[in-house]
Amino acid sequence: MTKHNKENDRLRKIVEAFPKVTVTVLADLVADEFVFGEISRVSREAPVLILKHRDRKVVPGGGANAIYNLADLGVNVLPVGVVGDDEAGKMLIRAFRHKRIPVSGVLKDKSYTTVTKTRILAGFAHTAGQQVVRLDREPAEGPNSHLRRELVLSAREYGRASDVLLVSDYGYGAATPALLNAIREKRGLDKVPVTLDSRYRMLEFRGSGITAATPNEAEVEAMLGIRIGDDWARLEAAGEQIVGEMNLDSLLITRGKDGMVAFPRRHKAIDIPIFGSDEVTDVTGAGDTVIATFTAALGAGATTDEAAHLANYAGGIVVMKRGTATVSQQELLQALDQVAPVARDH
């Protein structure tokens, strides 16, 4: 058996083990709404297009998309989060139930507004719509003290029965460093790895027991106040700095069309080129697919580089789909049949 065959066989076994993995997800739950309109004419009231409404779709977004991706990968997923007692919240819960995802850890509260991101897409008949504007509806403030307490109790209970705890922090208050510290207080999760996807404050999770994180390059540049560009040495130094400051076992930095770079603790960085075409269709929610696949692989016993390669396959698949999308376990297995994992030398 060749080295490539051995690598692919190992990755296949990891993916096939996903149904044996249980992941608790502490997340900011978001509803992604897509409104499609056919271009009719230019308005006489203002220089804007008039669209005839054609379709509307609401799908899980944000941390809810990470949950959906885990479910489609075959993982047993236990979501913990908050939705409002509104249409978007009800649609998210209905979507979870459709995938047979348990919803007992999803809190519903009348005082809370479900985060909803509405994208208006314009186009002609039989053409793909182009996003022209996005409207975000957000709660005035994060979950109240009662909801925060319930989130901690649920995450602690589910986490103890899980192989990994995934924290998906979009900045809406249901997946904060303070909540994670409270969850870990009674030492019930000491042996449970914790993966993190934090949009704005990754370094604030220092000292919270994070095992692995998956920021994109722009987030790394913002948190360290640097510009990476095509400077490999600067990227490598940035990754090593984050691993050291956060005491991580694994770091995965996503770089769009330039692929990803994995940083296993105390090992050389691994530069992975993008899987598939670099002419992407839509990057909406791709980071959720990456953290879901990376987390599932670690839960199944993968090394950092194995988990990174699988996340790269999944990311390459999902960016070729329109809108907020997922990657299935079968799609991942099919990708492994197409090409062996590749890394660039430096």
Q: Which of 28, 163, 169, 288 is catalytic?
A: 288
3-state secondary structure of 337: helix
Cα-Cα-Cα-Cα dihedral sign, residues 15, 19, 25, 27? positive
**Catalytic annotation present for 288:** yes
Q: Which amino acid is at 299?
A: G
Cα-Cα-Cα-Cα dihedral sign, residues 147, 149, 152, 154? negative
> Rounded to 5 degrees, what are φ and ψ at 284?
-55, 120
C-alpha radius of gyration, the chain, whole number = 20
Q: Are 230 and 208 in contact (CB under 8 A)?
A: no
Q: Which residues of 207-242 are buried (b: 16+ CB within 10 A; e: fewer)?
A: ebbbbbbbbbbebbbebbeeebeeeeeebbebbeeb
Question: What is each CA distance from 141 to 114, 144, 173, 175, in whole angstroms?
Answer: 11, 8, 8, 14
**Euclidean distance between CA atoms 235 and 221, whole angstroms:** 9
Tell which residue, 69, 88, 34, 243, has the closest CA to residue 168.
Answer: 69
**Euclidean distance between CA atoms 191 and 212, whole angstroms:** 14
Q: Are 307 and 297 in contact (CB under 8 A)?
A: yes
Q: Are 30 and 288 in contact (CB under 8 A)?
A: no
> Rounded to 5 degrees, what are φ and ψ at 159?
-60, -35
Write out the catalytic residue numbers: 288
